[in-house]
C-alpha cells in the first residue's frame, strides 16, 4: 500500500492484507477475502496518483464506494463524504470545497472524475475525513477528523463490543452516516466481516441474508425498532445474532427495556450508544446488563474517553463535555480551513446531563435548539430561517419525533412542508406546520416554544376551528382499518397488520388505494407493506398547496396540483391498457401490445403481493388470488359457451392452449386469462418446493431473471411452447417480477438492457414491440404518473375492473362489432364495470359464508381471513 510521504494513513485500512484469506466483504453471492480487498484497495489508491489530493465520495453501500473510502484512508488522501445519490446537497459541497477528484456513484459503481493532477488546496497532514454534521447535509459546515481519531474510535468500539474475526455485521446504515461508517471501521479493524447490503429490515430478503451469512450484529436507529415490531422480529429464530447496537437519537426507555429483555431471552445483547459526528461517532455506551435496570442512561464513556459536567449559567443543570482521542480537529466552513490543525481538545456536546450514583450518565435536556430525527440533527433555528426565506413568519420547536412550527397568517402549507422536509433531509411525516393568527409569545416578547410544541398534541379544531373546517371537508372519515376490513372482507384488523399480510392482492389494491387517498389526503409509497397504525391522515393544517408562496415556480406547482393528481404507474397502465385492448378489438383505433404490457404488470404485482410470508402462507395467498381470477372468468366463458358456438369445453376449463385447435382462432380470445392462470399455478407449485422457495428468497432478483431465460429458449428454437399465436409470455411476466425486485439503479439498468435485447425481436409487428417496450420501461423507471383530476376516479375504476372488462367484452363483441365503434367501446367498458361490481359482491358474500363454515369446522382447507392469512 502506497502511503503519502509525511502523511499517516489510517492503520486499519492500510493493514487489510494482514488478515489474509478471511472473508472481509460479502455482497450478493460474492465473498471477498481481506487479501483480495487489499489488492482492490491498493489498485484504487494507485489510481489516485502520487500527489495528495482532496477526494469527494458519494458514499453508497456498494463495493466500489467502499473501495474508494478505504483507498483514501489507507493512502492519506483527505476524503470529503458526500450524501449518496448525488443531487443538490452533493453539488453544494462540491461547489464549496472544489475537490480534486470526485468519485460519483452510478449503476452500482464509482466513476472517478479527476479534475486536476495536483491539489489546489493546503491540506493539513493529519486531516483524513470531512463529514457533514448530522442534519447539515449540503451545508458548507463540515467536521474535520484526523486519521488518528478514526482509528481510535474504531478501536474503542471494537473493545466494548468485544468484536472478533468471527463476527459479521449487516450494513443497515449508509456509509455516509458516521454511525454506519463506524460499523465498517470497527469490524475491519479486527478482521471481522461485513455483509454489504442496502436492504431494509422490513424486507424478508434481509433476514434471509442474516441467516445465510450468519450475521452476528446489525445497527439500528430508533425508527428501526418500529420496523422490527412490524416484521415480527421478536418471533424470529436468528441463532447467529450476538448483539444489536442502537444510536442516532434517543430510544424511549420503555423500548430500551423491552428489547433488552427480549435479548436476554433470545441470547443476544442490546448496546445503547451515544455519540456525535464531532466525536468520530461514539462517546458512550450502556453496558447490556444495565439496559433493563437503567434504560434512561447513556452509560459510560467509551474506552479512552472521559466525561465531565460543566455548570451552565442560569440553568440548574450541567453541560456534558467529552474528551478523548476521537474528538474532531475542528470545523471547516471554507476550503482555507482544510489547512488548520487541531482547534478542539474537548467537545461541548450541547446536552445537559447528570451522573447517577452508579456512575452512569443520563441526558436530561439540550442546551441548544436541536432535535434529532431518524438520526439526523435538525437545527430549529435553521427551520425558522428556511421558512423566512419562503416569506413566512414562523417559530419552530420539536422533539426527537417531530418538527413543529407555528406559521402566522392563513396559508395552505402542504407544499411548504414538503419543501422544508426536503431541505432538512427528514421524512415528510416528521414536519408539522400549523397556521396561527399570531405566534404565541411570552411576556418578554420571545416565542413561547412550549406552547408551539403543544400544537402537535391537540387537534386543529381546538386551536383554530375555522381553519380546520376549511381544510377537513374533502376527506373521508374512513380509517385505514375500516377500509381494509371492507375491501378485504376481514375482521379484527390489528395495528401491525398490512395490506399484504391481510391477503391483499393486485385485484383489491386499486380499490384500497383510491379509498385510502380520499381518507388520508395522500397515499405514501409502499403503503401496501406499512402497518395500519402508520396509515394516518395528513394533518389538516398542512392542507392544500399555498398560493401565497412568493415564487412563480411555487404558483405553477400549485396550479398543476389543482389540475393533476399523481397515480401509481401500474394503476394508470391497467386503465389505459384495457381501453386500448377493447378499442383495438372493435377497430375504434388500432394499437396492439397493451395486453403484453399487462402481462409484465401482472409479474410486477406478483412480486409485490405474493412473495411475503412462509412457504405455506405464500401458497395459500397464491391459490386465493388464482381463485379470484378463475371464478369470474369461467362464469363469463361458460355463458359464452352456452349462448354461442364460438367456444368449447376446453375454453371453460382454461385449457384451450393445450387442448384446443392450434394457431389463432376465435377460441383463443381468452388467451390472456388462460396463460396468466397457467403461469400463476405453475409458480405456486414451483415455489411450494422447499429448494425453490429458498432459492427465491436468497436470490429475489436473479430468480425471475432465470425464469425469463428459460422461457426465452424458444427464441433459439430449443423448445416449442403451445401458446396460441402469442408465443410464450412467461418471460414478460418474469421481467415484470424482476422490475419489482430491482433494488437499485444497476439492477434496473440490467433489466432495461434485457428488455431492449428481447422485446423488439419477439414480435413481428414493430409498433407492438415499441408499445410493449415503452410500457415496460415506464413501469420500471417511473413510479407515478400525472392524471387530470377529472379522470382520477374513472382511471381507478377502469383499473380495478380491467379483468372483468376484458372477459365480458367478448360477449358484447358479436352484438356490437358491426355497429358504432365508439358506442361499442363505451358499452363494453360499462358492462365490465357493472360485472365487476356484481361479481365482487357475490364473491365477498361467498367468502363470508365459507368463513362461517370454516369457523364451524368445514371445510378445513379454507384459510381464515380474520387472522390475516398469516
Residue 442: predicted pLDDT: 60
> Which has the closest alpha carbon to 562: 793, 797, 794, 790?
790
CA–CA separation, 505 and 509 (whole Å):
6
673 has a pLDDT exceeding 90:
yes
Express each pLDDT in 603-653 by its tens digit. 999 988 888 766 787 888 888 889 889 999 999 999 989 988 888 888 899
Higher-pLDDT residue of 545 and 525 is 525
Residue with the bigger pLDDT between 546 and 738: it is: 738
CA angle 113, 114, 117 (to 5 degrees): 175
Higher pLDDT, 415 or 412: 415
Mean pLDDT is lowest, of 40-49, 343-352, 689-698, for: 689-698
Largest CA distance in the chain: 95
Q: Helices then strands (H, E): number in the chain?
A: 31, 27
What is the edge-to-edge ordering of all strands in the sheet holding 431-436?
394-398, 403-408, 431-436
Same domain, yes or no, for 405 and 428? yes
pLDDT over 60 at 148, yes or no:
yes
Do 534 and 587 fall into the same domain? no
Phi, psi of 343 (to 5 degrees): -115, -10
Judgement on whether residues 500 and 386 belong to the same structural domain of the protein: no
| Residues 537-595: tens digit of each pLDDT | 644 333 333 333 334 444 444 445 457 777 889 989 999 999 999 999 989 998 999 99
* pLDDT, greater one: 445 or 767: 767
pLDDT at 461 over 50: no
Which pLDDT score, from 0 to 100, does residue 66 have?
Answer: 95
pLDDT of 801 higher than 70: yes
Same domain, 743 and 804: yes
pLDDT at res. 724: 43
Cis upstream peptide for 859 (omega within 30°): yes
651 touches 637 (CB < 8 A): yes
Q: What is the pLDDT of residues 804-856, one digit of tens each?
A: 999 999 988 888 888 888 999 999 999 999 998 888 878 777 766 665 555 45
Query: What's the mean pLDDT in 203-208?
Result: 91
- SS3 assignment for 454-477: HHHHCCHHHHCHHHHHHHCCCCCC
Q: Which residues contact 680 (CB under 8 A, 6 or more apart)?
A: 606, 622, 625, 626, 629
The CATH number covering residue 375 comes to 3.30.300.30
Same domain, 556 and 575: no
First to last CA, the chain: 53
Q: Are 284 and 410 in a shared domain?
A: no
Residue 732 above 80 pLDDT? yes
Q: Judging by beta carbons within 10 Å of its beta carbon (0-12, 13-18, 19+), is residue 448 exposed, middle or buried?
A: middle
Residue 415 lies in a domain: yes
* Stated length of the chain: 870
Q: Is 371 helix (H, G, I), strand (E, B) or coil?
A: strand
| CATH code where residue 562 lies | 1.10.1200
Average pLDDT of the residues of the chain: 83
Q: How many domains does the chain have?
A: 4
Rounded distance between C-alpha atoms, residue 573 and residue 233, angstroms: 36
Long-range contacts of 183-188 (CB under 8 A, 24+ apart): 183/219, 183/245, 184/66, 184/69, 185/12, 185/150, 185/153, 185/154, 185/157, 186/154, 186/155, 186/157, 186/158, 186/161, 187/158, 187/163, 188/12, 188/13, 188/16, 188/24, 188/70, 188/154
Residue 863 domain-assigned?
no
Answer yes or no: is pLDDT of 863 > 50. Answer: no
pLDDT band at 478 (very low <50, low <70, confident <90, very high): low
Distance CA 499, CA 869 (A): 11
Q: What is the DSSP letter of 299?
A: B
Domain CATH number, residue 197: 3.40.50.12780
Domain-located, residue 855: no
Distance between CA atoms of 833 and 510, rounded to whole angstroms?
14
**Closest of 622, 608, 595 to residue 568, by C-alpha:** 608
177 falls in which pLDDT band (50, 70, 90)?
Answer: confident
Q: How far is CA 200 from the centre of its chain?
A: 7
Strand-pairing partners, residue 103, are: 57, 112
Averaged over 469-485, what is the pLDDT? 52
Buried b (16+ CB within 10 A) or exposed e, 678-714: bbbeebbeebeeeeebebbbbbbbbbbbebbeebbeb
Q: What percent of the chain has pLDDT over 90?
A: 46
- Write down which residue in 418, 436, 471 finishes a domain: 471
Q: Are 545 and 558 in contact (CB under 8 A)?
A: yes
In a domain, 869, yes or no: no
CA angle in degrees (0–180, nearest 5) for 830-834-837: 140
Say if residue 102 is in the same domain as residue 236: yes
Q: Are 263 and 270 in contact (CB under 8 A)?
A: yes
Task: Return d(Cα 72, Cα 52) in angstroms, integer.
Answer: 10
CA distances from 852 to 285, 503, 623, 857, 863 (A): 54, 18, 20, 9, 12
Q: Looking at the domain assignment, is residue 554 inside a domain?
A: yes
Q: Are residues 353 and 435 in the same domain?
A: no
CB-CB contact of 826 with 606 (8 Å): no
Query: What is the domain range of residue 223?
Result: 11-364
Residue 621: CB atoms within 10 A of its CB come to 24
Give the lowest-confidence range in 409-423, 514-528, 672-686, 803-817. 514-528
- What confidence tens digit (pLDDT) does each residue in 365-405 have? 777 677 878 667 787 878 888 888 888 889 998 887 789 99
Q: Do 462 and 484 share a structural domain?
A: no
Question: 289: buried, middle or exposed (CB in 10 Å: 19+, 13-18, 0-12)?
Answer: exposed
DSSP assignments along 555-581, one per residue = HHHHHHHHHEEEEEHHHHHHHHHHHHH
pLDDT over 50 (residue 477): no
What percent of the chain stands above pLDDT 70?
Answer: 83
For residues 118 and 177, state if they share a domain. yes
pLDDT at 511 exceeding the cut of 50:
yes
- Tell me, what's the pLDDT at 487? 74
pLDDT higher than 80, residue 493 = no
Q: Is residue 4 part of a domain?
A: no
Q: What angle do CA 759, 765, 771 make, to 5 degrees?
A: 55
498 in the same domain as 454: no
**Considering the domain boundaries, does residue 5 fall inside one?**
no
pLDDT tens-place string over residues 284-315 = 999 999 999 999 999 999 999 999 999 988 66
Alpha helices in 348-454 (DSSP H): 380-389, 414-424, 449-454
Report, as an integer, the average pLDDT of 766-779.
93
**Nearest Cα residue to 598 out of 612, 619, 581, 583:** 581
- Whether residue 861 lies inside any domain: the answer is no
Angle between helices 414-424 and 380-389 (to 10 degrees): 130
**Which one of 444, 471, 498 terminates a domain?**
471
What pLDDT score was predicted for residue 491?
A: 65
Would you tell me the crossing angle of helices 506-520 and 594-609 to the nearest 10 degrees? 80
Q: CA angle, corner 446, sides to 441 and 448, nearest 5? A: 45
Q: Which of 567, 598, 625 is the last residue of a domain?
A: 567
Are 555 and 572 members of one domain?
Answer: no
Distance CA 382, CA 141 (A): 13
Instruction: State mean pLDDT over 35-41.
Output: 96
pLDDT score at 555: 46
pTM across the whole model: 0.52
Q: What's the rounded Cα separation, in Å, for the pair 751 and 777? A: 9
Which residues are registered as beta bridge partners of 564?
A: 788
From CA 524, how far away is CA 513, in angstroms rounded? 10
Give the Cα separation of 588 and 116 in Å (integer): 62
569-578 burial, b for 16+ CB within 10 Å, e for fewer? bbbbbbbbbb
**pLDDT score recorded for residue 840:** 81
**Which pLDDT score, from 0 to 100, does residue 621 have?**
81
Amino acid at each position: 500500500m502506497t502511503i503519502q510521504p509525511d502523511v499517516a494513513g489510517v492503520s486499519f485500512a492500510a493493514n487489510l492484507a494482514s488478515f489474509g484469506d478471511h472473508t472481509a466483504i460479502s455482497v450478493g453471492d460474492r465473498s471477498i477475502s481481506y487479501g483480495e480487498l487489499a489488492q482492490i484497495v491498493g489498485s484504487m489508491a494507485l489510481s489516485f496518483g502520487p500527489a495528495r489530493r482532496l477526494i469527494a465520495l458519494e458514499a453508497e453501500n456498494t463495493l466500489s464506494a467502499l473501495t474508494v473510502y478505504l483507498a483514501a484512508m489507507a493512502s492519506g488522501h483527505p476524503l470529503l463524504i458526500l450524501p449518496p445519490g448525488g443531487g443538490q446537497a452533493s453539488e453544494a459541497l462540491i461547489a464549496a470545497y472544489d475537490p480534486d477528484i470526485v468519485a460519483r456513484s452510478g449503476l452500482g459503481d464509482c466513476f472517478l472524475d479527476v479534475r486536476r493532477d495536483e491539489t489546489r488546496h493546503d491540506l493539513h497532514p493529519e486531516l483524513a475525513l470531512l463529514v457533514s454534521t448530522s442534519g447539515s447535509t449540503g451545508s458548507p459546515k463540515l467536521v474535520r477528523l484526523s486519521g488518528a481519531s478514526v482509528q481510535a474510535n474504531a478501536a474503542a468500539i471494537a473493545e466494548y463490543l468485544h468484536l472478533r474475526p468471527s463476527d459479521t455485521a449487516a450494513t443497515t446504515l449508509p456509509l455516509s452516516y458516521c454511525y454506519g461508517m463506524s460499523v465498517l471501521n470497527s469490524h475491519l479493524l479486527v478482521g471481522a466481516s461485513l455483509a454489504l447490503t442496502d436492504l431494509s429490515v422490513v424486507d424478508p430478503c434481509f433476514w434471509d441474508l442474516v441467516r445465510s451469512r450468519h450475521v452476528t450484529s446489525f445497527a439500528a436507529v430508533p425508527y428501526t425498532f418500529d420496523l422490527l415490531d412490524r416484521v415480527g422480529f421478536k418471533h424470529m429464530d436468528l441463532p447467529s445474532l450476538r448483539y444489536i447496537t442502537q444510536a442516532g437519537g434517543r430510544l424511549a426507555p420503555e423500548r430500551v427495556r423491552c428489547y433488552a429483555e427480549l435479548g436476554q431471552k433470545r441470547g443476544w445483547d442490546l448496546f445503547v450508544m451515544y455519540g456525535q459526528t464531532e466525536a468520530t461517532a461514539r462517546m458512550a455506551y450502556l453496558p447490556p446488563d444495565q439496559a433493563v435496570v437503567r434504560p434512561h442512561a447513556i452509560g459510560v464513556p467509551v474506552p479512552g474517553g472521559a466525561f465531565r459536567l460543566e455548570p451552565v449559567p442560569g440553568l440548574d443543570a450541567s453541560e456534558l463535555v467529552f474528551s478523548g482521542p476521537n474528538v474532531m480537529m475542528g470545523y471547516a466552513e471554507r476550503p482555507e480551513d482544510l489547512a488548520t490543525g487541531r482547534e478542539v481538545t474537548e467537545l461541548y456536546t450541547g446536552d445537559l446531563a447528570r451522573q447517577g450514583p452508579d456512575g452512569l450518565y443520563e441526558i436530561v435536556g439540550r442546551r441548544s435548539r436541536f432535535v434529532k430525527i431518524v438520526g439526523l440533527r435538525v437545527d430549529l433555528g435553521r427551520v425558522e430561517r428556511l421558512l423566512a426565506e419562503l416569506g413566512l413568519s414562523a417559530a419552530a420547536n420539536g422533539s426527537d419525533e417531530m418538527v413543529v412550527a407555528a406559521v402566522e397568517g392563513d396559508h395552505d402549507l402542504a407544499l411548504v412542508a414538503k419543501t422544508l422536509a426536503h431541505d432538512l433531509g427528514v421524512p415528510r411525516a416528521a414536519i408539522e406546520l400549523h397556521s396561527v393568527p399570531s405566534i404565541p409569545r411570552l411576556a418578554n416578547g420571545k416565542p413561547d416554544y412550549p406552547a408551539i410544541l403543544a400544537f402537535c398534541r391537540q387537534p386543529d379544531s381546538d386551536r383554530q376551528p375555522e381553519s380546520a373546517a376549511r381544510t377537513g371537508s374533502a376527506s373521508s372519515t374512513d380509517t385505514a382499518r375500516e377500509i381494509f376490513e371492507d375491501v378485504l372482507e376481514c375482521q379484527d384488523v390489528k395495528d401491525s397488520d398490512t395490506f399484504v399480510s391481510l391477503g391483499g392482492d393486485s385485484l383489491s389494491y386499486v380499490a384500497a388505494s383510491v379509498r385510502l387517498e380520499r381518507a388520508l389526503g395522500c397515499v405514501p409509497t409502499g403503503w401496501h407493506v406499512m402497518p395500519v397504525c402508520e396509515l394516518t391522515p395528513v394533518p389538516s393544517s398542512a392542507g392544500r398547496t399555498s398560493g401565497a408562496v412568493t415564487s412563480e415556480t411555487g404558483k405553477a406547482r400549485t396550479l398543476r396540483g389543482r389540475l393533476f393528481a399523481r397515480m401509481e404507474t401500474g394503476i394508470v397502465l391497467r386503465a389505459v391498457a384495457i381501453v386500448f385492448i377493447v378499442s383495438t378489438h372493435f377497430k375504434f383505433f388500432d394499437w396492439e401490445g397493451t395486453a403484453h404490457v399487462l402481462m409484465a404488470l401482472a409479474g410486477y404485482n406478483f412480486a409485490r403481493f405474493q412473495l411475503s410470508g412462509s412457504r405455506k402462507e405464500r401458497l395459500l395467498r397464491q391459490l386465493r388470488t388464482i381463485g379470484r381470477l378463475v371464478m369470474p372468468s369461467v362464469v363469463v366463458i361458460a355463458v359464452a359457451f352456452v349462448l354461442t358456438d364460438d367456444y368449447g369445453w376446453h375454453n371453460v376449463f382454461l385449457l384451450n392452449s393445450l387442448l384446443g385447435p392450434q394457431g389463432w382462432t376465435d377460441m383463443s380470445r381468452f388467451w390472456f386469462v388462460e396463460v396468466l392462470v397457467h403461469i400463476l399455478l405453475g409458480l405456486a407449485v414451483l415455489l411450494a418446493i422447499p429448494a425453490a422457495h429458498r432459492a427465491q428468497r436468497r436470490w429475489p432478483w436473479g430468480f425471475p431473471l432465470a425464469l425469463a431465460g428459460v422461457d426465452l429458449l424458444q427464441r433459439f428454437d430449443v423448445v416449442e411452447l403451445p401458446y396460441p399465436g402469442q408465443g410464450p409470455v412467461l418471460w414478460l411476466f418474469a421481467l415484470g417480477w424482476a422490475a419489482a425486485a430491482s433494488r437499485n439503479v444497476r439492477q434496473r439498468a440490467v433489466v432495461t438492457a434485457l428488455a431492449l435485447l428481447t422485446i423488439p425481436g419477439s414480435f413481428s409487428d414493430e409498433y407492438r414491440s415499441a408499445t410493449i417496450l415503452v410500457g415496460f420501461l415506464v413501469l420500471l423507471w417511473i413510479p407515478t404518473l400525472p392524471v387530470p383530476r377529472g379522470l382520477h376516479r374513472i382511471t381507478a375504476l377502469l383499473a380495478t375492473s380491467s379483468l372483468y372488462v376484458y372477459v365480458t367484452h367478448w360477449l358484447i363483441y358479436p352484438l356490437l362489432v358491426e355497429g358504432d365503434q365508439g358506442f361499442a367501446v363505451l358499452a363494453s367498458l360499462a358492462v365490465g364495470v357493472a360485472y365487476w361490481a356484481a361479481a365482487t359482491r357475490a364473491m365477498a358474500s361467498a367468502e363470508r359464508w365459507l368463513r362461517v363454515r370454516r369457523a364451524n369446522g368445514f371445510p378445513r382447507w379454507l384459510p381464515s381471513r380474520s387472522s390475516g392469512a398469516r
